[in-house]
Amino acid sequence: MEKMICGKVFVAGDNIDTDQIIPAKYLSYDPSTPEERKFFGKYAMSGMPIDESGLPKGKIPFVAAHAFTSPYVLVIAGKNFGCGSSREHAPLALAEAGVKAVVAQSYARIFYRNTINGAYIIPLETAERLVGEFDTGDEAELDVAKATIKNLRTGKSFPLQPLGDVTPIIEAGGIFEYAKRQGMLK
């Protein structure tokens, strides 16, 4: 698990559901096949609400038309990120797109568990609403160890809630690797 993550931010709102993160029509790809797994990244966040231009609100696509990864390594979201179905492909899609962490006010429980279980991305929570403190494209510095995020454009830093008990699971690479290291699985 990376302790310091620096890069561009993509700002999402409240109630971003798993069908917005990876629409069901793209679940026909096989995540166990590298040639197909990359398509989860290509179509990550492609179900986001669109405006009259056909692009997500703000007219900024998450992944460019002919790319498989996004320029955004951090997602800043509001409340209830990952709601909807229990689609374990949602955190995988974000990871395949190149996202390292999501900072949200709150998560849907199943999305949070799927994220931890697969150690796809780092899910951090904030008590403060950060959606209005960042613009898509801002550069940010996320210090996972100190549980802070800094907007490099404004210079403002914000405290985050520490990962706590899920840290060893993410550091191990997911729940199965963690269980193996703890002698729970052989």
Mind listing the pLDDT tens digit for each residue in 123-178? Answer: 999 999 999 999 999 999 999 999 999 999 999 999 999 999 999 999 999 999 99
More confident residue, 4 or 58: 4
For the stretch 53-103, pLDDT in tens is 444 455 678 999 899 999 999 999 999 999 988 788 999 999 999 999 999
Q: Residue for token digits 């931890």?
A: 116
Give pLDDT tens digits for 25-41. Answer: 999 999 999 999 999 99
Res 57: pLDDT: 55
Work out how many domains the chain is built from and give that number: 1
Q: Give long-range contacts, CB 8 A cutoff, 24+ apart: 14-17.
A: 14/77, 14/78, 14/79, 14/80, 14/105, 14/131, 15/78, 15/79, 15/80, 15/83, 16/48, 16/77, 16/78, 16/80, 16/81, 16/82, 16/83, 17/82, 17/83, 17/84, 17/85, 17/108
Report the CATH number that the domain containing residue 119 is assigned in CATH. Answer: 3.20.19.10
Residue 135 belongs to a domain: yes
Is 105's pLDDT higher than 80?
A: yes
- The number of helices, as runs of H, and strands, as runs of E, in the chain is 6, 7
How confident is the model at residue 55, as a pLDDT?
44
Q: 111 pLDDT exceeds 70?
A: yes
Percent of the chain with pLDDT over 90: 82
Residue 137: inside a domain, yes or no? Answer: yes
Range of the domain at 88: 4-181
pLDDT of residue 59: 62
Question: Is residue 103 in a domain?
Answer: yes
Query: For the whole model, what pTM was predicted?
Result: 0.92
Residue 102: inside a domain: yes
Q: At 110, phi and psi to the nearest 5?
A: -70, -40
pLDDT at residue 26, as a whole number: 92
* 51, pLDDT greater than 70: no
Question: Which pLDDT value is given to residue 89?
Answer: 93
pLDDT of residue 47: 85
- Strand order of the β-sheet with 4-11 is 122-125, 101-104, 72-77, 4-11, 139-143, 148-151, 157-159
Best CA proximity match to 11, nearest among 146, 170, 173, 153: 153
- pLDDT for res 54: 44
- Tell me if 17 is assigned to some domain: yes
In a domain, 186, yes or no: no
Q: Has residue 100 been placed in a domain?
A: yes
Residue 116 lies in a domain: yes
